[in-house]
Structure 1
Amino acid sequence: MFENTDSSDDNDDSLSKQVLPTTDDNNDPIDMNKIPTTGEEYLRQVRKRKEQELEQKYRNRGRGLALGGGLELALACDIRIAAHTAKLGLTETKLGIIPGAGGTQRLPRIIGSSKAKELIYTGRILSGQQAYEIRLVNEVVKQNEQLNAAYQRSLEIAHEIVQQGPLAVRMAKQAINKGLEVDLQTGLDVEEGCYDTVLTSEDRIEGLKAFQEKRKPVYKGV
Protein backbone atom coordinates (compact mmCIF):
# COMPACT_ATOMS: atom_id res chain seq x y z
CA MET A 1 0.00 0.00 0.00
CA PHE A 2 1.23 3.50 -0.82
CA GLU A 3 1.47 6.04 1.98
CA ASN A 4 0.71 9.73 1.45
CA THR A 5 0.72 9.35 -2.33
CA ASP A 6 -0.83 12.77 -2.93
CA SER A 7 2.17 14.58 -1.43
CA SER A 8 5.04 12.40 -2.63
CA ASP A 9 8.38 13.95 -3.58
CA ASP A 10 8.58 14.48 -7.34
CA ASN A 11 12.27 13.52 -7.20
CA ASP A 12 11.56 10.20 -5.50
CA ASP A 13 11.78 7.52 -8.17
CA SER A 14 11.09 4.62 -5.83
CA LEU A 15 7.74 3.92 -7.47
CA SER A 16 9.33 3.81 -10.91
CA LYS A 17 11.86 1.12 -10.01
CA GLN A 18 10.27 -1.97 -11.47
CA VAL A 19 11.05 -4.92 -13.69
CA LEU A 20 9.10 -4.65 -16.92
CA PRO A 21 7.54 -7.90 -18.14
CA THR A 22 8.68 -9.42 -21.41
CA THR A 23 5.25 -10.84 -22.22
CA ASP A 24 1.76 -9.37 -22.11
CA ASP A 25 -1.30 -10.75 -20.33
CA ASN A 26 -1.87 -13.20 -23.18
CA ASN A 27 1.70 -14.48 -22.72
CA ASP A 28 2.68 -12.99 -26.08
CA PRO A 29 6.10 -11.29 -26.45
CA ILE A 30 6.11 -7.52 -25.95
CA ASP A 31 8.02 -5.39 -28.44
CA MET A 32 9.24 -2.57 -26.20
CA ASN A 33 10.00 -0.43 -29.26
CA LYS A 34 6.30 -0.36 -30.14
CA ILE A 35 5.04 1.07 -26.86
CA PRO A 36 3.24 4.36 -27.73
CA THR A 37 4.83 7.60 -26.55
CA THR A 38 1.75 9.84 -26.88
CA GLY A 39 -1.93 9.55 -26.01
CA GLU A 40 -2.90 9.96 -29.66
CA GLU A 41 -0.58 7.16 -30.72
CA TYR A 42 -1.94 4.98 -27.92
CA LEU A 43 -5.52 5.52 -29.12
CA ARG A 44 -4.52 4.60 -32.66
CA GLN A 45 -2.96 1.39 -31.41
CA VAL A 46 -6.04 0.58 -29.32
CA ARG A 47 -8.31 1.04 -32.35
CA LYS A 48 -6.01 -1.01 -34.55
CA ARG A 49 -5.86 -3.77 -31.98
CA LYS A 50 -9.65 -3.89 -31.65
CA GLU A 51 -10.01 -4.02 -35.45
CA GLN A 52 -7.59 -6.94 -35.55
CA GLU A 53 -9.61 -8.71 -32.88
CA LEU A 54 -12.76 -8.27 -34.96
CA GLU A 55 -11.04 -9.62 -38.06
CA GLN A 56 -9.92 -12.66 -36.08
CA LYS A 57 -13.52 -13.24 -34.94
CA TYR A 58 -12.88 -12.31 -31.35
CA ARG A 59 -9.98 -14.61 -30.60
CA ASN A 60 -10.34 -13.94 -26.87
CA ARG A 61 -14.14 -13.97 -26.73
CA GLY A 62 -14.30 -17.29 -24.90
CA ARG A 63 -11.61 -16.21 -22.45
CA GLY A 64 -13.46 -12.98 -21.69
CA LEU A 65 -10.41 -10.71 -21.56
CA ALA A 66 -10.87 -6.95 -21.04
CA LEU A 67 -7.40 -5.74 -20.17
CA GLY A 68 -5.84 -2.32 -20.72
CA GLY A 69 -7.40 -0.66 -23.74
CA GLY A 70 -10.08 -3.34 -23.88
CA LEU A 71 -11.38 -2.34 -20.47
CA GLU A 72 -11.09 1.34 -21.33
CA LEU A 73 -13.46 0.78 -24.24
CA ALA A 74 -15.87 -1.00 -21.89
CA LEU A 75 -15.68 1.89 -19.41
CA ALA A 76 -17.09 4.18 -22.10
CA CYS A 77 -20.26 2.07 -22.26
CA ASP A 78 -23.44 2.81 -20.30
CA ILE A 79 -23.92 -0.79 -19.16
CA ARG A 80 -21.34 -3.55 -18.69
CA ILE A 81 -22.04 -7.27 -18.31
CA ALA A 82 -19.34 -9.82 -17.47
CA ALA A 83 -19.22 -13.60 -17.37
CA HIS A 84 -17.90 -15.08 -14.14
CA THR A 85 -14.87 -16.31 -16.09
CA ALA A 86 -13.98 -12.83 -17.38
CA LYS A 87 -10.70 -11.09 -16.61
CA LEU A 88 -10.72 -7.29 -16.34
CA GLY A 89 -8.06 -4.77 -15.44
CA LEU A 90 -6.08 -1.68 -16.35
CA THR A 91 -2.63 -3.23 -16.53
CA GLU A 92 -0.67 -0.37 -18.12
CA THR A 93 1.49 0.36 -15.07
CA LYS A 94 3.07 -3.07 -15.54
CA LEU A 95 4.61 -1.61 -18.69
CA GLY A 96 5.67 1.64 -17.05
CA ILE A 97 2.85 3.65 -18.63
CA ILE A 98 -0.65 4.71 -17.57
CA PRO A 99 -4.11 4.17 -19.06
CA GLY A 100 -4.31 6.73 -21.86
CA ALA A 101 -7.71 6.13 -23.45
CA GLY A 102 -9.89 7.44 -20.65
CA GLY A 103 -9.13 4.88 -17.95
CA THR A 104 -7.81 7.34 -15.36
CA GLN A 105 -10.93 9.48 -15.78
CA ARG A 106 -13.77 7.01 -16.28
CA LEU A 107 -12.78 4.34 -13.75
CA PRO A 108 -12.82 6.75 -10.73
CA ARG A 109 -16.21 8.05 -11.82
CA ILE A 110 -17.58 4.51 -11.84
CA ILE A 111 -16.05 2.88 -8.75
CA GLY A 112 -14.66 5.86 -6.80
CA SER A 113 -11.22 7.42 -6.78
CA SER A 114 -9.67 5.37 -3.96
CA LYS A 115 -10.50 1.97 -5.47
CA ALA A 116 -9.59 3.18 -8.95
CA LYS A 117 -6.17 4.29 -7.72
CA GLU A 118 -5.61 0.90 -6.11
CA LEU A 119 -6.44 -0.98 -9.31
CA ILE A 120 -4.43 1.30 -11.59
CA TYR A 121 -1.39 1.50 -9.28
CA THR A 122 -1.23 -2.29 -8.93
CA GLY A 123 -2.34 -3.25 -12.45
CA ARG A 124 -4.49 -5.88 -10.75
CA ILE A 125 -6.65 -8.21 -12.82
CA LEU A 126 -10.15 -8.93 -11.51
CA SER A 127 -12.54 -11.78 -12.11
CA GLY A 128 -16.08 -11.09 -13.29
CA GLN A 129 -17.40 -11.59 -9.76
CA GLN A 130 -14.81 -9.25 -8.26
CA ALA A 131 -15.65 -6.62 -10.87
CA TYR A 132 -19.32 -6.90 -9.94
CA GLU A 133 -18.60 -6.55 -6.22
CA ILE A 134 -16.94 -3.16 -6.75
CA ARG A 135 -19.64 -2.09 -9.25
CA LEU A 136 -17.29 -2.08 -12.21
CA VAL A 137 -19.89 -4.13 -14.09
CA ASN A 138 -23.67 -4.07 -13.74
CA GLU A 139 -24.10 -7.83 -13.67
CA VAL A 140 -22.06 -11.00 -13.60
CA VAL A 141 -23.49 -14.10 -15.28
CA LYS A 142 -22.42 -17.71 -15.32
CA GLN A 143 -20.56 -18.61 -18.49
CA ASN A 144 -22.31 -21.05 -20.84
CA GLU A 145 -21.03 -23.72 -23.21
CA GLN A 146 -21.20 -21.31 -26.15
CA LEU A 147 -18.97 -18.86 -24.23
CA ASN A 148 -21.36 -15.99 -24.93
CA ALA A 149 -23.37 -15.68 -21.72
CA ALA A 150 -22.52 -12.01 -21.21
CA TYR A 151 -23.37 -11.23 -24.83
CA GLN A 152 -26.74 -12.96 -24.55
CA ARG A 153 -27.57 -11.10 -21.34
CA SER A 154 -26.58 -7.84 -23.04
CA LEU A 155 -29.03 -8.59 -25.84
CA GLU A 156 -31.80 -9.15 -23.30
CA ILE A 157 -31.16 -5.75 -21.71
CA ALA A 158 -30.91 -4.09 -25.13
CA HIS A 159 -34.27 -5.62 -26.06
CA GLU A 160 -35.80 -4.03 -22.95
CA ILE A 161 -34.33 -0.64 -23.82
CA VAL A 162 -35.46 -0.55 -27.46
CA GLN A 163 -39.07 -1.00 -26.38
CA GLN A 164 -38.97 2.34 -24.57
CA GLY A 165 -39.32 5.75 -26.16
CA PRO A 166 -36.02 6.41 -27.98
CA LEU A 167 -36.17 10.16 -27.39
CA ALA A 168 -36.88 9.56 -23.70
CA VAL A 169 -33.88 7.23 -23.43
CA ARG A 170 -31.63 9.78 -25.14
CA MET A 171 -32.80 12.60 -22.89
CA ALA A 172 -32.44 10.44 -19.77
CA LYS A 173 -28.86 9.62 -20.76
CA GLN A 174 -28.11 13.28 -21.45
CA ALA A 175 -29.58 14.37 -18.12
CA ILE A 176 -27.57 11.77 -16.19
CA ASN A 177 -24.27 12.33 -17.98
CA LYS A 178 -24.36 16.12 -17.92
CA GLY A 179 -25.78 16.20 -14.41
CA LEU A 180 -22.84 14.22 -13.05
CA GLU A 181 -20.44 16.91 -14.27
CA VAL A 182 -22.07 19.79 -12.38
CA ASP A 183 -23.49 20.65 -8.95
CA LEU A 184 -26.93 19.38 -7.91
CA GLN A 185 -28.86 22.58 -8.66
CA THR A 186 -27.34 22.88 -12.12
CA GLY A 187 -28.04 19.20 -12.65
CA LEU A 188 -31.70 19.76 -11.80
CA ASP A 189 -31.78 22.53 -14.40
CA VAL A 190 -30.31 20.13 -16.95
CA GLU A 191 -32.99 17.59 -16.07
CA GLU A 192 -35.71 20.21 -16.48
CA GLY A 193 -34.44 21.08 -19.94
CA CYS A 194 -34.42 17.43 -20.99
CA TYR A 195 -37.89 16.94 -19.52
CA ASP A 196 -39.21 19.90 -21.50
CA THR A 197 -37.86 18.26 -24.66
CA VAL A 198 -39.83 15.04 -24.15
CA LEU A 199 -42.89 16.87 -22.78
CA THR A 200 -43.56 18.47 -26.16
CA SER A 201 -42.60 15.44 -28.25
CA GLU A 202 -44.75 13.28 -30.50
CA ASP A 203 -43.49 10.24 -28.60
CA ARG A 204 -45.08 11.53 -25.39
CA ILE A 205 -48.45 11.88 -27.11
CA GLU A 206 -48.10 8.41 -28.63
CA GLY A 207 -47.13 6.92 -25.28
CA LEU A 208 -50.18 8.33 -23.50
CA LYS A 209 -52.47 7.35 -26.36
CA ALA A 210 -51.13 3.80 -26.44
CA PHE A 211 -51.59 3.51 -22.67
CA GLN A 212 -55.21 4.63 -22.92
CA GLU A 213 -55.88 2.27 -25.82
CA LYS A 214 -54.04 -0.58 -24.07
CA ARG A 215 -51.72 -1.26 -26.98
CA LYS A 216 -48.00 -1.21 -27.64
CA PRO A 217 -46.76 2.29 -28.54
CA VAL A 218 -45.14 3.00 -31.89
CA TYR A 219 -42.42 5.52 -31.15
CA LYS A 220 -40.65 7.61 -33.80
CA GLY A 221 -37.99 9.23 -31.66
CA VAL A 222 -39.39 12.75 -32.13
Structure 2
Amino acid sequence: MSTESKSFEEQIEDIYQQYRHKKLESRLDEIAETMEETVLQQVLAGEFLQTTIEIDQEAKEAVQNARRHLENNEYEELNSIIDNVEELVEDQERQVSNKIHEERINMNSMVNGMQRLNSRVERVSEEKITAIDELLDNWDWKGHVYRGEDDSLEAHKSNAAEFGRDMRRFFEEARDDIFGPYEGTPIEPIVDDLLSDDPLYLDSLTDDQIEELRESDLESYVKLSLS
Protein backbone atom coordinates (compact mmCIF):
# COMPACT_ATOMS: atom_id res chain seq x y z
CA MET A 1 0.00 0.00 0.00
CA SER A 2 1.49 3.35 -1.01
CA THR A 3 1.78 6.24 1.39
CA GLU A 4 -0.74 8.20 -0.67
CA SER A 5 -3.42 5.53 -0.24
CA LYS A 6 -3.01 5.31 3.53
CA SER A 7 -5.09 7.34 5.89
CA PHE A 8 -3.46 9.91 8.12
CA GLU A 9 -3.94 7.63 11.11
CA GLU A 10 -2.25 4.74 9.31
CA GLN A 11 0.70 6.91 8.36
CA ILE A 12 1.06 8.03 11.97
CA GLU A 13 0.97 4.38 13.08
CA ASP A 14 3.70 3.49 10.57
CA ILE A 15 5.89 6.30 11.87
CA TYR A 16 5.28 5.17 15.43
CA GLN A 17 6.20 1.57 14.60
CA GLN A 18 9.39 2.69 12.86
CA TYR A 19 10.28 4.70 15.94
CA ARG A 20 9.64 1.69 18.20
CA HIS A 21 11.76 -0.54 15.99
CA LYS A 22 14.69 1.87 15.96
CA LYS A 23 14.43 2.27 19.71
CA LEU A 24 14.51 -1.51 20.16
CA GLU A 25 17.51 -1.78 17.84
CA SER A 26 19.36 0.94 19.73
CA ARG A 27 18.56 -0.65 23.07
CA LEU A 28 19.75 -4.05 21.90
CA ASP A 29 22.96 -2.50 20.56
CA GLU A 30 23.67 -1.06 24.01
CA ILE A 31 22.96 -4.39 25.70
CA ALA A 32 25.21 -6.24 23.25
CA GLU A 33 27.97 -3.68 23.78
CA THR A 34 27.75 -4.18 27.55
CA MET A 35 27.95 -7.95 27.06
CA GLU A 36 30.99 -7.61 24.81
CA GLU A 37 32.80 -5.29 27.21
CA THR A 38 32.07 -7.70 30.06
CA VAL A 39 33.61 -10.57 28.09
CA LEU A 40 36.66 -8.47 27.20
CA GLN A 41 37.21 -7.48 30.82
CA GLN A 42 36.94 -11.15 31.79
CA VAL A 43 39.72 -11.98 29.31
CA LEU A 44 41.90 -9.06 30.42
CA ALA A 45 41.47 -9.84 34.12
CA GLY A 46 42.31 -13.49 33.53
CA GLU A 47 45.67 -12.57 32.02
CA PHE A 48 46.60 -9.51 34.08
CA LEU A 49 45.06 -10.19 37.48
CA GLN A 50 45.39 -13.98 37.17
CA THR A 51 41.83 -14.47 38.33
CA THR A 52 39.12 -16.76 36.97
CA ILE A 53 35.76 -15.09 36.38
CA GLU A 54 32.79 -16.99 35.02
CA ILE A 55 30.11 -15.42 32.83
CA ASP A 56 26.71 -17.10 32.82
CA GLN A 57 26.10 -18.77 29.47
CA GLU A 58 22.42 -17.88 29.76
CA ALA A 59 23.23 -14.19 29.36
CA LYS A 60 25.30 -14.79 26.22
CA GLU A 61 22.61 -16.98 24.67
CA ALA A 62 19.93 -14.44 25.53
CA VAL A 63 21.79 -11.75 23.57
CA GLN A 64 22.27 -14.09 20.62
CA ASN A 65 18.57 -14.99 20.65
CA ALA A 66 17.59 -11.32 20.75
CA ARG A 67 19.83 -10.61 17.76
CA ARG A 68 18.14 -13.40 15.79
CA HIS A 69 14.75 -11.82 16.44
CA LEU A 70 16.09 -8.50 15.19
CA GLU A 71 17.63 -10.02 12.07
CA ASN A 72 14.30 -11.72 11.29
CA ASN A 73 12.38 -8.47 11.88
CA GLU A 74 10.53 -10.13 14.75
CA TYR A 75 10.08 -6.94 16.70
CA GLU A 76 7.18 -8.07 18.85
CA GLU A 77 9.14 -11.11 19.99
CA LEU A 78 12.17 -8.93 20.65
CA ASN A 79 10.10 -6.47 22.63
CA SER A 80 8.72 -9.27 24.79
CA ILE A 81 12.17 -10.51 25.89
CA ILE A 82 14.42 -7.45 25.87
CA ASP A 83 13.76 -6.49 29.50
CA ASN A 84 14.88 -9.94 30.64
CA VAL A 85 17.92 -9.88 28.35
CA GLU A 86 18.96 -6.50 29.72
CA GLU A 87 18.56 -7.71 33.30
CA LEU A 88 20.68 -10.82 32.67
CA VAL A 89 23.47 -8.84 31.01
CA GLU A 90 23.53 -6.10 33.63
CA ASP A 91 23.69 -8.71 36.39
CA GLN A 92 26.72 -10.34 34.75
CA GLU A 93 28.38 -6.98 34.16
CA ARG A 94 27.90 -6.09 37.83
CA GLN A 95 29.30 -9.39 39.08
CA VAL A 96 32.35 -9.23 36.81
CA SER A 97 33.02 -5.57 37.67
CA ASN A 98 32.77 -6.26 41.41
CA LYS A 99 35.17 -9.21 41.19
CA ILE A 100 37.67 -7.23 39.12
CA HIS A 101 37.44 -4.28 41.51
CA GLU A 102 38.21 -6.57 44.45
CA GLU A 103 41.22 -8.11 42.68
CA ARG A 104 42.50 -4.68 41.62
CA ILE A 105 42.44 -3.46 45.22
CA ASN A 106 44.40 -6.50 46.38
CA MET A 107 47.02 -6.16 43.66
CA ASN A 108 47.25 -2.39 44.02
CA SER A 109 48.26 -2.80 47.66
CA MET A 110 51.35 -4.71 46.54
CA VAL A 111 52.10 -2.27 43.72
CA ASN A 112 51.95 0.65 46.15
CA GLY A 113 54.47 -1.18 48.31
CA MET A 114 56.64 -1.73 45.25
CA GLN A 115 56.53 1.98 44.47
CA ARG A 116 57.51 2.94 48.01
CA LEU A 117 60.42 0.52 48.09
CA ASN A 118 61.56 1.29 44.55
CA SER A 119 61.71 4.99 45.37
CA ARG A 120 64.57 4.03 47.72
CA VAL A 121 66.35 1.22 45.93
CA GLU A 122 65.66 2.42 42.36
CA ARG A 123 65.82 -0.96 40.67
CA VAL A 124 62.91 -0.55 38.25
CA SER A 125 61.87 2.14 35.79
CA GLU A 126 59.31 4.36 37.49
CA GLU A 127 57.37 4.54 34.22
CA LYS A 128 56.80 0.79 34.26
CA ILE A 129 55.42 0.74 37.80
CA THR A 130 53.33 3.84 37.10
CA ALA A 131 51.75 2.16 34.06
CA ILE A 132 50.74 -0.81 36.21
CA ASP A 133 49.46 1.45 38.98
CA GLU A 134 47.39 3.57 36.59
CA LEU A 135 45.72 0.52 35.05
CA LEU A 136 44.82 -0.76 38.50
CA ASP A 137 43.55 2.65 39.59
CA ASN A 138 41.62 3.69 36.49
CA TRP A 139 41.01 0.41 34.65
CA ASP A 140 41.32 2.37 31.41
CA TRP A 141 41.63 -0.59 29.04
CA LYS A 142 39.49 0.20 26.00
CA GLY A 143 42.12 2.09 24.01
CA HIS A 144 44.41 -0.94 24.21
CA VAL A 145 41.71 -3.40 23.12
CA TYR A 146 39.58 -1.57 20.55
CA ARG A 147 42.36 -1.11 18.01
CA GLY A 148 43.28 -2.38 14.58
CA GLU A 149 41.16 -2.81 11.48
CA ASP A 150 39.51 -6.07 12.57
CA ASP A 151 36.43 -5.07 14.56
CA SER A 152 35.31 -8.61 15.42
CA LEU A 153 34.81 -9.86 18.96
CA GLU A 154 37.54 -12.46 18.50
CA ALA A 155 40.03 -9.76 17.46
CA HIS A 156 39.10 -7.68 20.50
CA LYS A 157 39.48 -10.71 22.76
CA SER A 158 42.91 -11.36 21.29
CA ASN A 159 43.89 -7.73 21.94
CA ALA A 160 42.60 -7.95 25.51
CA ALA A 161 44.58 -11.12 26.16
CA GLU A 162 47.74 -9.63 24.66
CA PHE A 163 47.43 -6.42 26.68
CA GLY A 164 46.77 -8.40 29.85
CA ARG A 165 49.82 -10.61 29.29
CA ASP A 166 52.04 -7.59 28.63
CA MET A 167 50.92 -5.82 31.79
CA ARG A 168 51.30 -9.01 33.84
CA ARG A 169 54.82 -9.42 32.51
CA PHE A 170 55.64 -5.81 33.48
CA PHE A 171 54.31 -6.48 36.98
CA GLU A 172 56.21 -9.74 37.48
CA GLU A 173 59.45 -8.29 36.12
CA ALA A 174 59.18 -5.27 38.41
CA ARG A 175 58.31 -7.45 41.40
CA ASP A 176 61.24 -9.79 40.78
CA ASP A 177 63.70 -6.94 40.21
CA ILE A 178 62.66 -5.18 43.41
CA PHE A 179 62.22 -8.13 45.77
CA GLY A 180 64.44 -10.76 44.20
CA PRO A 181 67.59 -9.78 46.13
CA TYR A 182 65.79 -10.34 49.45
CA GLU A 183 64.29 -13.76 48.73
CA GLY A 184 65.69 -16.48 50.96
CA THR A 185 67.40 -13.97 53.26
CA PRO A 186 66.57 -13.18 56.90
CA ILE A 187 65.00 -9.86 55.87
CA GLU A 188 62.48 -11.36 53.44
CA PRO A 189 59.72 -11.17 56.12
CA ILE A 190 60.62 -7.51 56.68
CA VAL A 191 60.09 -6.79 53.00
CA ASP A 192 56.71 -8.51 53.20
CA ASP A 193 55.77 -6.19 56.09
CA LEU A 194 56.90 -3.17 54.12
CA LEU A 195 54.65 -4.24 51.27
CA SER A 196 51.61 -4.30 53.52
CA ASP A 197 52.71 -1.05 55.20
CA ASP A 198 52.80 -2.73 58.62
CA PRO A 199 54.82 -0.91 61.29
CA LEU A 200 58.31 -2.25 61.89
CA TYR A 201 59.77 -2.35 65.40
CA LEU A 202 63.44 -2.77 66.22
CA ASP A 203 62.76 -5.09 69.14
CA SER A 204 60.91 -7.47 66.81
CA LEU A 205 64.02 -8.13 64.70
CA THR A 206 66.56 -10.88 65.18
CA ASP A 207 70.29 -10.21 65.25
CA ASP A 208 70.62 -11.75 61.78
CA GLN A 209 67.91 -9.47 60.42
CA ILE A 210 69.53 -6.39 61.91
CA GLU A 211 72.87 -7.38 60.40
CA GLU A 212 71.28 -8.01 57.00
CA LEU A 213 69.54 -4.64 57.15
CA ARG A 214 72.80 -2.91 58.01
CA GLU A 215 74.39 -4.39 54.90
CA SER A 216 71.39 -3.86 52.61
CA ASP A 217 69.97 -0.85 50.80
CA LEU A 218 66.93 -0.90 53.10
CA GLU A 219 68.53 0.57 56.20
CA SER A 220 67.64 4.16 55.39
CA TYR A 221 64.19 3.15 54.20
CA VAL A 222 63.13 1.51 57.44
CA LYS A 223 64.78 4.34 59.38
CA LEU A 224 66.31 2.16 62.03
CA SER A 225 69.20 3.18 64.22
CA LEU A 226 71.51 0.22 63.79
CA SER A 227 74.44 0.89 66.03
Query: Is this a same-fold pair by TM over 0.5?
Result: no
Higher share of residues assigned strand: 1
Q: Which has the higher contact order (CA 8 A, sep 6+)?
A: 2
TM-score (normalizing by structure 2): 0.30
Normalized per residue, the structure richer in helix is: 2
